[in-house]
Amino acid sequence: MTTDPPRARRVLLLAGSFADARPAIGLAVALAARTQAALEAVLALDPRTEAAEGARLVTWGRPAGTTLLLSREGMSIAYAADARAFRSSLDRAALEMKLRASFRTDSGTLPDLALGLRQPGDAVIMACRRFLPLQGPVAALEDDEDGPAARLATELARMFGTRARVLPADTPPDVLDPMLLSALVLSRTNSSDPAHLAALIDAARCPALLTPVA
Amino acid sequence: MTEHITALSPDVLRHCCDPVALGFATTDELEPLEQLFGQERAVEAIRLAAGMRQRRFNLFVHGPEGSGRHSSVVGLLEEAAASRVVPADWVYVHNFEAPDRPHALRLPHGTGPKFRRAMAELVDDLAQSIPALFESEEYQSRRAAIEQEFGNRNESTFSGLARRARERGVAILRTPMGFALAPTEHGEVQKPEVIEKLPEAERDAIRENVAQTQTELSDFLESLPRIEKEHRAAIAALNAEMAQQVVDLNLTDLREEFAGITVLKAHLDAVRRDLIANAELFLKAGSQGSEGAFPIAQARVHDTPRFHRFAVNVMVSHAENATGAPVIFESLPTLANLTGRVEHMQQMGTLVTDVTLIRPGALHRANGGYLVLDARRLLTEPFAWDALKRCLETAEIRIIGAGDRLGLSTTTTLEPEPIPLDLRIVLVGDRYLHRLLEAHDPEFSQLFTVTAEFGSDMDRHAESMALLARQVAGVVKREGLRPVTADGVAALIEYASREAEDREKLSLELSRLWDVLREADHRAGQVGAATIDREHVEGAEAARLRRADRIAERMQEMIARGTIMIDTRGSVVGQVNGLTVASLGAARFGWPARITARVRLGAGQVVDIEREVKLGGPIHSKGVLILSGYLSTHYLPEMPLSLWASLVFEQSYGGVEGDSASVAELCALLSALAGVPLTQSLAVTGSINQQGEVQPVGGVNEKIEGFFDACTGQGLTGRQGVLIPRRNVDNLMLRADVVAAVAEGRFQIHAIDHVDQALELLTGLPAGKRGLGGEFEPGTVNANVEARLMDFAEARRDFGRSAETASEQRDDD
């Protein structure tokens, strides 16, 4: 039995905002360094936010009683600022590990982009975060306890200083919600449907990884 | 005539050493002598400074180059240091209260490296045990409980909120601007224009749902900072509690090992607090790795920068079994090499530093003992002298770099706690530097109260020769040279006398003597000799001279060819052979120089042409003025000196310094006045005082040899020779060929006391003394001189009267 994690050709880090990306950058850089893979980051603009122009915004630190509305112009400025911060943070982290990283922006939901950009041999990280930096186990949704997702989960658990758990591949999203996962590793079998992926991410609210496939 | 009185016999021209009298066959029979000899005064001063315990009894040693000052000082200091106590170790450790001011800790000698190893092992151990602790079941369970508690309070709140929003048809979208609350229809976001077309009741319902979600989300977000803070505190408390167990466990042995050292207790307490507070530093440090085929039993992480705060930087340490105090010679006394320095390393484009980058200087290494420095090098290093004085005044070593002193340092740096200083500084220099420091640096005399002066020579007698022979034996033994025969040692003794320029002295600038000895050994080796004999010593000496005397040879060639006009035969009025000497490195050589004088009626002026054209140095000018004084007081003292005279070194273009030609210049001048020719077979050296007495000069051997070579080039006649001051006879250590020529009557050397003797030898006429009537004996040189001066005086008086009469007539008209 091998304990080596599956090797990746490329590590693709996808995030909808810098706030979501920040906790996942270290993970992406470490994974790329560990597997000698190229590192690419994408800041994704969720097309639903375009449709939601004029929607109410809720942010931290805003005085009670004031309402901020989502505007195209404001969104454009915030998106550009997030892109700058994302790129800068990524470059710094990559430099520390003597890696080269590329960065770009794209439009789409994280599951759509993950499945659309994924190439054979790519490891994909869909960045998401909790409100509190809670440390829970790293879960792998895979039926084979020695499968690639389980091995990657073990590796990540070692990095996080936590434990790995292997759950059945068809574990429903609502089971993940109370588990306070540090990361979720998905196998090939449960990572082909964007809607299912979106549901898993919403429930887990932690970085979700798609293991490299040949 | 004076010739029979002044001529020197060959036996006084070189003080030969009798090898039989030395009492040994070769130096193998002698007990080698390594200590200094002939420098008792200096040794006494060094021992005083070495033995005094009070501050400020620092020592300045001066003496000629090659006298063994450095090695002797170090040897004597080591002797004194042997009976002193071994100084303490000093280490720098991180100051957890003020990280830019590392603490200096004084530890018993031999403890510094042990403590450093112990701390390194502690860090390496913790790098294993802390991650293991945080991976333990106990920790994971307690951590999970905390996470679960906060997860329940917080994450489940948000899950419920998100679920309710979905049920109300409101999507919570994460955007870079924050959470956007968008109404949805069948999971799709409804655009505002679509909503506007809806009936008002539906629009109101949507607005109500969005507003309710907004309120819940806002309340949730407002509660987050407080909960997050509580969460951090709970985790930190758990981590600290767990870390404390493992830190205390690991520190127990270390505390026991160094229990007797009080200063370490406070530091270890601070280390413990920091380790507990920052245990997460170790979480990723102890991962096991392997280097090729060799598995690493334990990760060595103590060298990584993040653990440098726990490192121990040993500035100076003395082995546990060490004896005595240190004696350090710092050959390059830069500021950094003296007081130490704080180095920096590049990290992400910036320069950073920490306690491990403090480097010790010579003051640290010599603390508690002795530090020997070369004064000239010290004074030429920027800030070094000033820093040394500051350290001696304050009795502490404070590390301040040159950049900081100039205010040029813009990067983060450290200000290490000063280390108390207790040592004796020994500066080795020369007399000139000592005088300069005394005159221009008031602090010098305060800090360096003992002076040791190394002499350049010592008396030559049986005892000193025996000691020198034992020193030769010492060098032979130390350097593995061939043994030296008694005759070889005798040749070295003669060389030492020649170097001392005194037949009754031995030069103590021994480094040159040892160089000759080494070269003689090489020559002996070339011919397969088992011992070093006189011929090898003299061969080495001659070869050294030959290598250096290209210019001398060229000068002699030019004299022989007549390019430099020197007569060694015949007689000429107002012209004499003077003698000059020049030094080129270690080699010195002499050659003759034609000096001429011309006179005429004047107002008592003797013109030194060398001075007029600024080719004459001040001492030479002084000599000319002295001879002018002699002239004006010795002849017609009651009448004005009515003379104009010029003196010149012919064919001299490089400048003249010294007064050793003043006898020759006076003779040339008197010859010109008396109209009596001077023999060119003789050359003259010596300085003169106002009484006409001849005073000793330097370089007498080289001058004689230089004229001998010139005469040899033009052919020895038997009448040629040199006039030297009698007071220089003791300086004679002439070459063997010159001595042989004198012995064979082919060359002569005269020792004179007074200029009259020189005049008699050069003119062949009596110089003349004043009789009872106050006049010089007729027919003598002096009588002729005075008569000529009388003529000048009368002519001047007559000229004055006729000029006066002509003036009166003009007035009458």
Which DSSP string corresponds to B295-330?
A: E-SS---TTSGGGGGG-EEEEE---TT--S--EEEE
- According to DSSP, the residues that pair with B575 across neighbouring strands are B596
Say if residues B649 and B610 touch (Cβ distance below 8 Å).
yes
ipTM of the complex: 0.84
Antiparallel, parallel or unpaired: β B721-725 and B694-695: unpaired
CA dihedral for B191, B193, B198, B199, sign (positive or negative) = positive
User: What's the burial of B575, exposed, middle or buried (CB within 10 Å: 0-12/13-18/19+)?
Assistant: buried
Phi, psi of B104 (to 5 degrees): -100, 130
- According to DSSP, the residues that pair with B179 across neighbouring strands are A58, B174
Closest chain A residue to B348 measured between Cα atoms?
A: A96
Distance from CA of B186 to the nearest CA of A (A): 13
677-706 of B, contacting A, C-beta below 8 A? none
Distance from CA of A185 to the nearest CA of B (A): 20
Say if residues B768 and B732 touch (Cβ distance below 8 Å).
no
181-240 of B, contacting A, C-beta below 8 A? 181-183, 188-192, 210-211, 214, 217-218, 221, 224, 227-228, 231
A205·B155 Cβ contact <8 A:
yes
A33 touches chain B (CB under 8 A): no
Q: Where are the domains of chain A?
A: 10-210
A57·B178 Cβ contact <8 A:
yes
Separation between Cα atoms, residue B808 and residue B77, nearest integer Å: 86
The type of residue at B329 is F
Place of tokens 């090098």: B377
Place of tokens 């932690």: A206
* Total residue count of chain B as it appears in this document: 813
Instruction: Nearest by CB to A60, from B134, B181, B221: name it.
Output: B221
B347 touches chain A (CB under 8 A): no
Q: Report all structural domains of chain B as residue ranges with CATH numbers, in order of start.
A: 28-34+457-548 (1.10.8.60), 39-85+324-454 (3.40.50.300), 139-291 (no CATH), 553-765 (3.30.230.10)
Average pLDDT value over all residues in chain A:
86
Q: Which residues, in sequence order, are CB contacts of A181 under 8 Å at separation 6+?
A: A136, A137, A138, A139, A204, A206
A3 touches chain B (CB under 8 A): no
Under DSSP, the state recorded for B777 is P
Cα dihedral: A82, A87, A93, A94 (round 10): 160
B83 touches chain A (CB under 8 A): no
A63 touches chain B (CB under 8 A): no
Distance from CA of B518 to the nearest CA of A (A): 59
A38 touches chain B (CB under 8 A): no
A202 touches chain B (CB under 8 A): yes
478-537 of B, contacting A, C-beta below 8 A? none
Task: Return the H-helix or E-strand segment holding B429.
Answer: strand B424-429
B280 touches chain A (CB under 8 A): no
CA contacts within 13 A on the Cβ side of A108 = 15
Say if residues B743 and B737 touch (Cβ distance below 8 Å).
no
Q: Which residues of A touch B218 (CB under 8 A)?
A: 58, 62, 64
Q: Which residues of A touch B152 (CB under 8 A)?
A: 178
Active site residues of B: 660, 703
Q: Which residues, in sequence order, are CB contacts of B805 under 8 Å at separation 6+?
A: none
In a 3-state reduction of DSSP, which class is residue B732? coil
A17·B210 Cβ contact <8 A:
no
Q: Which residues of A touch B231 (CB under 8 A)?
A: 132-134
Q: Which residues of B touch A54 (CB under 8 A)?
A: 192
In a 3-state reduction of DSSP, which class is residue A8? coil
B173·A48 Cβ contact <8 A:
yes
Q: Which residues of B touch A3 (CB under 8 A)?
A: none
420-449 of B, contacting A, C-beta below 8 A? none
B155·A131 Cβ contact <8 A:
yes
Distance from CA of A94 to the nearest CA of B (A): 12
142-161 of B, contacting A, C-beta below 8 A? 143-144, 147-148, 150-152, 154-156, 158-159
Which residue in B163, B175, B222, B304 has the most chain A C-beta atoms within 10 A of its own C-beta, making it the best mutation to test that interface? B175
**Structure confidence at residue A66 as a pLDDT band (50, 70, 90):** low
pLDDT score of B295: 44
Closest chain B residue to A97 measured between Cα atoms?
A: B348
Which residue in B177, B203, B218 has the most chain A C-beta atoms within 10 A of its own C-beta, making it the best mutation to test that interface? B177
Q: pLDDT means per 10 residues in chain B (813 residues)?
A: 74 92 94 83 89 88 83 88 94 95 95 95 90 83 86 81 89 84 84 84 89 88 86 89 91 92 94 91 59 52 88 94 92 95 84 92 96 95 95 94 76 88 94 93 93 90 94 94 96 93 90 93 96 95 86 87 90 95 80 93 79 78 84 85 87 82 93 94 94 94 94 92 95 93 95 95 93 88 92 85 74 67
Q: Which residues of A touch B177 (CB under 8 A)?
A: 57, 59, 68, 70, 74-75, 78
Place of tokens 């501050």: B55
B228·A132 Cβ contact <8 A:
yes
Biggest CA pair distance of chain A:
60
pLDDT score of A102: 94
Distance from CA of A158 to the nearest CA of B (A): 9
